[in-house]
Structure 1
Amino acid sequence: MGRFPQRGRILAGRRAIYYNGSTRSGIACAGAFCSVKAWAKLRREISRCRPVEAMAALTEINKQDGAPELRRRAGLLYALLIIAFFGLVSRLIFLQIIQGERYTFLSENNRVRLKRVPGTRGMMFDRQGQLLVDSRPSFDLIFVPEDAYDPAKTLRLLAQYLRRDENELLKTFEESKSRAAFDEMVLGRDVDWPAVVAVESHQLDLPGVSLRTRPRRNYADGPMAAHVLGYLGEINQKQLNILKEQGYVVGDEIGQYGLERRWEELLRGKSGGQQVEVDALGRRVRVLHEVTDVPGYTVRLTLDRQMQEAAYEALKGKEGTIVALDVHSGAILTLASTPAFDPNVFARGIKSEEWSALIKDQLRPLSNRATQGQFPPGSTFKIIMAIAALEEGVINPESFIQDPGFFFFGNRSFRDWKKGGHGAVNFHRAIVESCDTYFYQLGPKLGIDRIAKWAHAFGLGEKTGIALDDERNGVIPDTEWKRKRYRQPWFPGETVSVAIGQGYVTVTPLQLANMMAAVANGGKLFRPYLVSKVESVDGTTVREYGPELIRTIELKPDTLNRVRNALADVVSGAHGTGGAARSQMVEIAGKTGTAQVIEMKSAYLKSEQLSYFNRDHAWFVSYAPVDHPEVAIAVLVEHGGHGGDAAAPMAKKVFEKFIELKKKATEKQEVQIEGETRAN
């Protein structure tokens, strides 16, 4: 056997061993040939990620390869394997112990999901049992990104199938990345039938995308009673922080306005749930366990749907409100406000541009003018002035004054609405013809504090307590009010303006309707209410509501008789300002009002000569029938001009609808009684 070359290398498997030609190096080289199998075993164990077996193979190599160079390299490899081993063990501890609960949750959610089933929201009916609000089945488009291999690709494909803007879907996805893993993301509410078909027919192409059946709120008459019924909206973070303990979660719908908000606790019901097994695409395989949801309570209202419809139709194209209530209980029969909004838009998920248009609309469709609008009452305030003057004894109702068409107080002239004046005027004629000059003179005689006392007695300047949010107070000024508000004394000349419902005084239409009811019923001021009964699904009465007397206003019989007779002649008298409310079906008593928006110091201008937003507000407050009052109505038409022209005819329509419904109910009752009599 010849000697090895002086210098060079030999290959052991794929490992090169360098030598210098010495005998000892030759022995090392021979050893290298002998360890080929051991090196192959080492490579095999490393490729299989088996650290213990790899170290054993390395030990075997170390025993066979005696060269110091090889020992050094083997030691280095030993160290690397030990580090890798401890790294692997550390990672296993982190995944299985520290993060074990999380990954167990993710693993379970990859197979088993908890599906929350919201309770069906309670229905609302009117006083005759006609449906106003219910819930119908709808489909929500749901996405769970964890079920999709490529969420962005899935959403782009979904947009293509639904013919929607993919950027819109991707934006929703990006905004929801902070949610918990496997939480459902709502891509669309109440999707239409073509979208349902598209999703169902492309399930294999859309992993993570599914449809969820959900009850959707349905408002049968759209905007007709929107300001009373209200609307739903997705719960916001502030609300969630407060209501989380009551079972609310992200994505829940909650009452945001009107009765939907005020009666949320009773209407919402209790959620149920399903434990569902899903496949790799997130599709339902079977239901493992189910907890049944509990529907919300049914709420019965005092509203009369047909009277509400008559009021809403009368107001169409106008900005205003009509409030009608039962004079003997305070039950609200009608509360219409225009312009209105369609709560069904909120039920299906209002778009940002739709919401922006609503809140920017200068006509304020979201505002409930009946409870939130604060307006100068104009000549309707003369009812308070008349009662105060008679009760305080500052006038003789039979005496006359001369009205030249103006009234001087100090160095200021106050004009009557009628150019040239009304001539000789007494108490009765002053109300019937709405003589400003007569009441100008009453103002200083009474003084602002006595006027305020009687206005407050009839509920003006204070909330009525109706179960609707954001009701306003209005303003009934007195000396103390001005001192606190402006840090100034009250000037007697300011009382002159207040005497005809101008100046600082403002009221809500609901307050005026309630005032008129108190005049009609003899001085009883009731709290207006909208809900008469709350029932469970099986019809069991849970709560019941009725009249709540706030106070009884002590009035002299003569005061009531004189005021009521004058109010009747406002409508039926030859010179009354409310003749447009005269009806063949029912005798109506009322008072017109024309409230100035801006002060006009010079000419007598007609309303149509002014720019729209500077035109006067039109009022008509009334009750009927005159002999046995049942209903009181307040009508306000913003920028409508004269109350007798714009507001009085609207009240007439609502009164006639009431009489028509009452007649039908009486006839129906008579038929039933006759049928029972024959049966017996």
Structure 2
Amino acid sequence: MKRTPRDQAESERRITRRGLILAGAQLGVVGILVARMRHLQLEQSSEFRLLAEENRINVRLLPPPRGRIFDRNGEVLADNEQLYRIVIVREDAGDVDEVLARLARLLPLETEDIERVRAEIYRRSPFVPVTVAERLHWEDVAEVAVNTPALPGVNPEVGLSRVYPLGEDFAHVVGYVGPVSDYDLSRIENPDPLLQIPRYQIGKTGVEAKLEDALRGRAGTRRIEVNAVGRVMRELDRQPGQPGADVELTIDAGLQNFVQARLGRESASAVVLDTETGDILALASSPSFDPNKFVRGISVADYRALTDTPLRPLANKAVQGTYPPGSTFKMVVALAALEEGVIKPEETVWCPGYKELGRRRFHCWKRGGHGHVNLIDSLEQSCDVYYYEVAEKVGIEKIAAMARRLGLGAQFNLPLSAVARGLTPDKDWKRRNRGADWLIGDTLNAGIGQGYVLASPLQLAVMTARLASGRALEPRLVRRLGEAEQPPAPARDLGIDPGHLRLVRRGMLAVTNNRRGTAWSSRVELAEMKIAGKTGTSQVRNISAAERESGVLDNDEVPWEQRDHALFVAFAPYDAPRLACSVVVEHGGGGSTAAAPIARDIMLAALSGGMPPLEAYPAAQRREIGDRLRALNLRQYRNGEDGRGRSRA
């Protein structure tokens, strides 16, 4: 059917309207695209130009400065020093082997250095910088910087590294840092991104390791622009990290230096405690080592020298070493018996030189015996037979309970590596660990600090501080962490009869101040510095009946590793105790000859705040002791200089 003119006009009008709508929509879309293109090309052109050049904006982590460690007087024990290093980024380097070959012409790189970098660079993400060389001279860094156009991906950097200005004095306390290892990463559930940086240093031992999280701080970032050949053009943005927290320890660096020097090259350890607060004023282990060598990369020869000696310089003997406490344990047995009422102070025991139990003899250290001895005499002369008799009466359960009350068998919560628990045995312990019943002979051995009993020098110092104060002091090593003060733990009363404690202290005073005392030769003449102590000698070998018949060999007649350990514990001043001390000399022989003289010097140094005053020694000993003290390799003070008269407590 033919359409009318009117219908034709209406149809044309509709088509035109639809066309206009469609055209308008198209123009709108085009307008939006043009506007967006203008925004990208004009307003964001500089940023996209950088991105177009192979993603030339890099984000780098900024390691924060590690927190420093100080002694109680503000002396720096662990610091940060500036160093220059060269790093390479794989994704920027292109041909890594070629770049390393060029770099080797500029730097003193050995073949093993290049192999290490090559192995490390392919184990890490391509954007992670890998350290090629560090601790470089400025001239080397400048030469690399000049040649960076020919060394894509290579960047000179200024960083920080740990340094220990007091070296050996604090190696066992502060510890040291070293590069993060795969083993370190495997022990951490959610590793900090900082730890992924190759050769990033973390604490390995001591306070450095135990307070790692606080000392490390938090990483910062920086965005840098680099050109097509890898040269850094400019820094776009920097977000500084959070520095690690500083740590203040309770230890006095001057006293620590004296103690370390006085121990000399002996295989020995010593601990000094403040009997008011429990602060550790000195904690030394000898021989020591230079922790700076571990930071810089210790040589095979140096490491072998530390591990191939029986003196064990890497071990912190003050907290890791455990020893039979010998006669220093006799105060524990005496207090257990007094508290149980099984002995009276004036009650005597006959010592013929041995105690018979069945067909076995338990010998006293004095072959001919001590005769009749009471409590004070037994401590003064260290009679073993007295403590065999007393231990048998009181029993191992009461002895063990008293030992634990005085701090033995406790693993103290200190930021140090491998703090030992020691061993305070009882009947249940032997059943669980040895599958056997406890015997009376075990009790007799425990009564003189032998057998299964083990204690660390730290525990012996805590025991002595508790005896002196009558309170359950806890040792403290950290005074301040960052801005937070670390107050001493409240020390409750031991719950021991004060009269019994006074009796034991009187016995300890007799050890060093009565002519028959085992440490009479280590007495102090000044009343205000009077020391009360107890000697100890612990066997490390069995003495056969045949040897006893023919005569027990002296310590200097047997190999070093078979000689007795020498121990001494002390507190001072006697009338108002402020300090407690323990000294252990491995295989040193007798406690009275090897350990007591060291402990006396240490206590006098701690009480005087400087070199021990010669007038505190018996007149006949002063010349020899003066020569010995002057020969010590002391860092801070000599002959009373730098702090003489200032108490280190």
Give TM-score scaled by structure 2 length.
Answer: 0.80
- Give 3-state SS (helix, strand or coil) of 2:127's partner: coil
CA contact (8 A) 2:318 2:458 kept: yes
Deviates more, 1:629-638 or 1:441-450: 441-450
Please name the residue that 1:268 is paired with.
216
Q: Which runs of 5+ in 1 are unaligned?
A: 1-103, 536-541, 670-680
Please name the residue that 2:532 is paired with.
589
Please name the residue that 2:467 is paired with.
519
The AA in structure 2 aligned to 1:319 is S
Query: Within 5 A, what are the aligned runs for 1:607-626?
Result: 607-626=555-574
The AA in structure 2 aligned to 1:214 is G
What is the CA–CA distance in structure 2 between the aligned matches of 1:148 and 1:364, rounded to whole Å?
A: 46
The AA in structure 2 aligned to 1:577 is T
Q: CA deviation at 1:361?
A: 4.9
- Residue 431 of structure 1: which of 361, 369, 379 is its match? 379
Whether 2:73 is the aligned partner of 1:128: answer yes
Q: CA deviation at 1:376?
A: 0.6
**Structure 1 residues 668 and 372, CA gap change in structure 2 (3 angstroms):** closer
What is the CA–CA distance in structure 2 between the aligned matches of 1:649 and 1:207, rounded to whole Å?
A: 65
What is the CA–CA distance in structure 2 between the aligned matches of 1:318 and 1:281, rounded to whole Å?
A: 59
Deviates more, 1:252-261 or 1:577-586: 577-586
CA contact (8 A) 1:156 1:166 kept: no
Query: Within 5 A, what are the aligned runs for 1:69-468?
Result: 111-148=56-93, 150-192=95-137, 195-196=140-141, 199-200=144-145, 203=148, 206-237=151-182, 239-240=184-185, 242=188, 244=190, 246-251=192-197, 252-350=200-298, 358=306, 361-468=309-416
- Give 3-state SS (helix, strand or coil) of 2:204's partner: strand
What is the CA–CA distance in structure 2 between the aligned matches of 1:228 and 1:565, rounded to whole Å?
A: 34
CA contact (8 A) 1:110 1:280 kept: no
- Give 3-state SS (helix, strand or coil) of 2:504's partner: helix
The AA in structure 1 aligned to 2:467 is V
Please name the residue that 1:672 is paired with.
none
What is the CA–CA distance in structure 2 between the aligned matches of 1:167 and 1:465, rounded to whole Å?
A: 42
CA RMSD of aligned residues (A): 2.6
Deviates more, 1:659-668 or 1:173-182: 659-668
What is the CA–CA distance in structure 2 between the aligned matches of 1:399 and 1:593, rounded to whole Å?
A: 23
What is the CA–CA distance in structure 2 between the aligned matches of 1:197 and 1:645, rounded to whole Å?
A: 60
Q: Which runs of 5+ in 2 are unaligned?
A: 1-48, 611-639
**Structure 1 residues 171 and 556, CA gap change in structure 2 (3 angstroms):** closer
The AA in structure 2 aligned to 1:478 is D
Q: CA deviation at 1:475?
A: 1.0
The AA in structure 1 aligned to 2:445 is S
- Give 3-state SS (helix, strand or coil) of 1:162's partner: coil
Whether 2:513 is the aligned partner of 1:572: answer yes
CA contact (8 A) 1:312 1:336 kept: yes
The AA in structure 1 aligned to 2:504 is V
Deviates more, 1:212-221 or 1:252-261: 252-261
Please name the residue that 1:5 is paired with.
none
- Give 3-state SS (helix, strand or coil) of 2:196's partner: coil
CA contact (8 A) 1:299 1:534 kept: yes
- Give 3-state SS (helix, strand or coil) of 2:481's partner: strand
Q: CA deviation at 1:356?
A: 6.1
Q: CA deviation at 1:554?
A: 1.7
What is the CA–CA distance in structure 2 between the aligned matches of 1:353 and 1:176, rounded to whole Å?
A: 28
CA contact (8 A) 1:189 1:349 kept: no
**Structure 1 residues 292 and 495, CA gap change in structure 2 (3 angstroms):** same
What is the CA–CA distance in structure 2 between the aligned matches of 1:105 and 1:384, rounded to whole Å?
A: 76
**Structure 1 residues 148 and 547, CA gap change in structure 2 (3 angstroms):** closer
Deviates more, 1:436-445 or 1:105-114: 105-114
CA contact (8 A) 2:278 2:475 kept: yes
The AA in structure 1 aligned to 2:196 is V
- Residue 560 of structure 1: which of 463, 486, 501 is its match? 501
Please name the residue that 1:598 is paired with.
541
Please name the residue that 2:629 is paired with.
none
What is the CA–CA distance in structure 1 between the aligned matches of 2:229 and 2:608, rounded to whole Å?
A: 61
Q: Give deviations 1:247-280, integer Å, cap 9, x for gaps.
A: 4331332222211122222211222122122244
Q: Give deviations 1:31-68, integer Å, cap 9, x for gaps.
A: xxxxxxxxxxxxxxxxxxxxxxxxxxxxxxxxxxxxxx
CA contact (8 A) 1:110 1:278 kept: no
Whether 2:476 is the aligned partner of 1:533: answer no
What is the CA–CA distance in structure 1 between the aligned matches of 2:52 and 2:180, rounded to whole Å?
A: 30
The AA in structure 1 aligned to 2:194 is Y
Deviates more, 1:243-252 or 1:167-176: 243-252
**Structure 1 residues 166 and 394, CA gap change in structure 2 (3 angstroms):** same
What is the CA–CA distance in structure 1 between the aligned matches of 2:608 and 2:465, rounded to whole Å?
A: 21
CA contact (8 A) 2:430 2:436 kept: yes
Whether 2:480 is the aligned partner of 1:546: answer no
The AA in structure 2 aligned to 1:218 is V
Q: CA deviation at 1:229?
A: 0.9
**Structure 1 residues 318 and 282, CA gap change in structure 2 (3 angstroms):** farther
- Give 3-state SS (helix, strand or coil) of 1:273's partner: strand
- Give 3-state SS (helix, strand or coil) of 1:431's partner: helix
**Structure 1 residues 283 and 431, CA gap change in structure 2 (3 angstroms):** same
**Structure 1 residues 160 and 570, CA gap change in structure 2 (3 angstroms):** farther
Q: CA deviation at 1:464?
A: 2.3
The AA in structure 2 aligned to 1:587 is K
CA contact (8 A) 1:615 1:639 kept: yes
The AA in structure 2 aligned to 1:534 is L
Greater C-alpha Rg: 1
Deviates more, 1:314-323 or 1:143-152: 143-152
What is the CA–CA distance in structure 2 between the aligned matches of 1:436 and 1:633, rounded to whole Å?
A: 23
Q: CA deviation at 1:625?
A: 0.7
The AA in structure 2 aligned to 1:552 is D
What is the CA–CA distance in structure 1 between the aligned matches of 2:567 and 2:646, rounded to whole Å?
A: 36
Give TM-score scaled by structure 1 length.
Answer: 0.77
What is the CA–CA distance in structure 1 between the aligned matches of 2:169 and 2:401, rounded to whole Å?
A: 37
Deviates more, 1:340-349 or 1:594-603: 340-349
The AA in structure 2 aligned to 1:588 is I
CA contact (8 A) 2:353 2:370 kept: yes
What is the CA–CA distance in structure 1 between the aligned matches of 2:510 and 2:140, rounded to whole Å?
A: 63
The AA in structure 1 aligned to 2:195 is V
CA contact (8 A) 1:514 1:528 kept: yes
The AA in structure 2 aligned to 1:328 is E
